[in-house]
Amino acid sequence: MPGGKPAATPKGRQVDPAARVEVAALLGARSRARDLLIEHLHLIQDAKGCLPTALLAALAEAMRLSLAEVYEVATFYAHFEVVDGPAPAPSTVVRVCDSLTCAMMGAARLHAALANADLTGAKIVRAPCMGACDKAPAVAVGHRQIAPASLDAVRRALAAPSPEPVPVSHPDLAAYRAAGGYRTLAACRAGQLTLDAVTAALDTAGLRGLGGAGFPTARKWRLVAAQPGPRLMVVNADEGEPGTFKDRHYLERDPHRFLEGALIAATLVGVEAVYIYLRDEYPAIRQTLIREIAALEAAGLSGGVRVHLRRGAGAYICGEESALIESIEGKRGLPRNRPPYVAQVGLFGRPTLVNNVETLCWVRDIVERGPAWFADQGRRGAKGVRSFSLSGRVREPGVKLAPAGITARELIDAYGGGMAPGHAFRAYLPGGASGGILPAALADLPLEFGALEPYGCFVGSHAVIVLSDQDDLRAAALNLMRFFEDESCGQCTPCRVGTEKAAALMARPDWDTGLLDELIRTMADASICGLGQAAGNPVRALLRHFPEVLR
pLDDT in tens, 116-141: 998 988 999 999 999 999 999 999 99
- Residue 408: pLDDT over 80: yes
Residue type, 401: L
The Cα 440–Cα 442 span in angstroms is 5
Angle at the Cα of 235 (from 167 to 528), degrees rounded to 5?
A: 120
Query: How many residues does this entry show for the chain?
Result: 551
Q: Look at residue 48 in the predicted model and tell me its pLDDT.
A: 92
How does pLDDT run across 471-521, given as a tens digit for each residue?
Answer: 999 999 999 999 999 999 999 999 999 999 999 999 999 999 999 999 999
| Closest listed residue to residue 470, CA positions, set 105, 138, 136, 102 | 105
262 Cβ neighbours under 8 A, 6+ residues apart? 233, 235, 274, 276, 307, 355, 360
Average pLDDT over residues 158-165: 75
| Closest listed residue to residue 399, CA positions, set 239, 280, 209, 164 | 239
Q: Look at residue 165 in the predicted model and tell me its pLDDT.
A: 72
Whether this prediction's pTM lies above 0.85 is answered by yes
